[in-house]
Amino acid sequence: MFNVTSSTLKIAWKFIASHTLAVWVLALITLAVLGAGTLPQSTRLSPDEQEGWQTEWETTSYWFDTLGISDIVGSWWFAALCVILIINMTAGTIDAFLRKWAFFKGSQKHSHEAQGSGLPPEGITHFIGGSVTTAESTSRIRGTLGLLGLPLAHLGIALIVLASFWRAETGFNDYFELSVSEVFAGETSKLQRRQPLPSELDTLIQLDRVNIEVAEGDYIGELQGFFSFQHKDGLVEQEMVQSNQPLRLGNYELHTQNKFGHSAVFERILPNGSIRKLYINFTVERSEWGKPWSGQKEQAVRFDNAPLYYYMTQTNSEPPTFNLQVNKGRGVIFDGTLEPGDVADLGAYKLRYQGMVPWLGLNLALVKNVTPIFVGFVMTLLGFLLHLLIPSRRVELIIDDKGWHTRAWVASGDAAFEQKWNTWCRQRGAETA
């Protein structure tokens, strides 16, 4: 059996509540966050980029995965550091508050002391709150509200951390690209990270048109998407979405991104006669937007898990041409120029080229449980502001036959009080201790 004495508990509490632990945990979290912002992270890479990283850096990526470095902020050890931080913060705040309270109540040793004969310095009597002429002892605490500042700030930080973990479990945000006349119904394959939606998107989203203006110097003047939305009950609505003005769709929100381009639209005609749309998106430089445009792209297009490799070139000629070469393994199964309406026979299916349309980058977000995070931000900032603007100070003045004697309880580093104190003491030629 362990013999847990009160002194052991005291030592443990002292360590848990210590600044030393705070410094170490903060330093480690800082390094972890810098790593998360600098090293390749699986959460930031698209599946293609992830595949590329794992192929090119096989050993490194293996060790990154093994040690949890490929998703630092999602790793168990990062969560553990955050838990230790919260424990340390809570214990440290309680400990510091109790000590400060005891300090300002005068049950601990004062930080400043002075004495003299005759009348006490004017500043001190003013601080005490009036003229003190007869033999008496008066004390006054100012800035009690300031004592609450750091506890409030730390509580806010704990709230931000906890609410962020909660939000990470329940929230959703992913990027997708939608072409004009394409319909999105929440398909995972359209999303960049290909994560399933946490709840059903009970609205069909169709992009009708875009309004993108690129000003001289490649600056985006306007970027708007005009959409049709069909709700579950069949109701169709039309709305415009633009930056900072998302559209609410049930639990979800639709946001625009500063990304756009041209999409090659095909009809894939399957052997059974059914037709499916295929959109292949080309990124367009801002400087080329709205002008006759040329671009190249290579893309593996999967059908029944068998990839075909498309090599495409859109040429800025008159009329514009779309060159398509399709390879299966090492063999070329189609190589030709397509105009809208032309059909390419790829064996497994036929491909009818329909032309180019614009596409727009969008974010689909599940808006849930974010309020506690912003409440946490406000608490943290307000708490720290209180701490900085309202310094807590206690001054005691004793007057007797011999003269006056004053003591003060002030936090270390209170430069403003230090200045005042020096002025007060100089005023009366006091002896300071």
Q: Which is nearer to another protein, 30 or 133 (CB)?
A: 30
Contact yes or no for 401/134 (Cβ under 8 A): no
Task: For residue 114, state whether it binds another protein (rule: CB under 8 A).
Answer: no
Minimum distance of another protein from residue 121's CB (angstroms) = 21
Q: Which is nearer to another protein, 167 or 352 (CB)?
A: 167
Task: For residue 244, state whether it binds another protein (rule: CB under 8 A).
Answer: yes
Span interacting with another protein, options 21-29, 109-117, 392-400, 421-429, rule CB under 8 A: 21-29
Give Rg (Cα) of the chain.
34
Contact yes or no for 206/182 (Cβ under 8 A): yes
Task: For residue 41, state whether it binds another protein (rule: CB under 8 A).
Answer: yes
Minimum distance of another protein from residue 149's CB (angstroms) = 11
Distance CA 44, CA 189 (A): 17
Q: Which is nearer to another protein, 303 or 384 (CB)?
A: 384
CA distances from 172 to 148, 218, 392 (A): 35, 32, 44
Q: Which of 414, 429, 421, 419 is nearest to 395 (CA)?
A: 421
Q: Which is nearer to another protein, 73 or 197 (CB)?
A: 73
Minimum distance of another protein from residue 393's CB (angstroms) = 13
Two tokens at 66? 């093994």
Span interacting with another protein, options 181-189, 213-221, 289-297, 343-351, rule CB under 8 A: 213-221
Q: Which is nearer to another protein, 69 or 338 (CB)?
A: 69
Q: Which is nearer to another protein, 315 or 363 (CB)?
A: 363
Minimum distance of another protein from residue 99's CB (angstroms) = 12
Backbone angles phi, psi at 419, to 5 degrees: -65, -50
Distance CA 321, CA 318 (A): 8
Task: For residue 226, state whether it binds another protein (rule: CB under 8 A).
Answer: no
Task: For residue 169, state whether it binds another protein (rule: CB under 8 A).
Answer: no
Q: Using CB under 8 A, which of 137, 188, 238, 243 touches another protein? A: 243
Minimum distance of another protein from residue 57's CB (angstroms) = 17
Task: For residue 29, state whether it binds another protein (rule: CB under 8 A).
Answer: yes
Task: For residue 271, state whether it binds another protein (rule: CB under 8 A).
Answer: no
Amino acid at 108: Q
Distance CA 239, CA 177 (A): 18
Distance CA 165, CA 73 (A): 10
List the x/- string, 359-378, binding to another protein by CB under 8 A: ----xxx-x--x--xx--x-
Task: For residue 164, state whether it binds another protein (rule: CB under 8 A).
Answer: yes
Task: For residue 177, state whether it binds another protein (rule: CB under 8 A).
Answer: no
Q: Using CB under 8 A, which of 46, 381, 400, 422 touches another protein? A: 381
Site residues for another protein, window 317-336 (CB under 8 A)? none
Minimum distance of another protein from residue 88's CB (angstroms) = 10
What are all long-range contacts of 27-35, with beta carbons under 8 Å and residues at least 24 apart? Answer: 28/81, 29/78, 29/81, 29/82, 29/85, 32/72, 32/73, 32/78, 32/81, 33/72, 33/73, 35/69, 35/72
Q: Which is nearer to another protein, 119 or 220 (CB)?
A: 220
* # binding residues, another protein (CB under 8 A): 57
Per DSSP, the chain holds a count of helices (H) and strands (E) of 10, 19
Distance CA 333, CA 320 (A): 23
User: Around 352, how many Cα atoms within 13 Å sit in the side-chain half-sphere?
Assistant: 11
Task: For residue 80, state whether it binds another protein (rule: CB under 8 A).
Answer: no
CA distances from 394 to 12, 108, 128, 415 (A): 31, 12, 9, 15
Two tokens at 212? 């993108």
306 Cβ contact list (under 8 Å, min separation 6): 328, 348
Contact yes or no for 143/106 (Cβ under 8 A): no
Q: Using CB under 8 A, which of 38, 107, 134, 272 touches another protein? A: 38
Distance CA 8, CA 20 (A): 18
Task: For residue 412, state whether it binds another protein (rule: CB under 8 A).
Answer: yes
Task: For residue 94, state whether it binds another protein (rule: CB under 8 A).
Answer: no
**Residues in touch with another protein (CB under 8 A):** 19-20, 22-23, 26-27, 29-30, 33-34, 36-38, 41, 43-44, 73, 164, 167, 171, 173, 215, 217, 219-224, 242-244, 246, 253, 255, 257-259, 363-365, 367, 370, 373-374, 377, 380-381, 384-385, 387-388, 412-415, 418
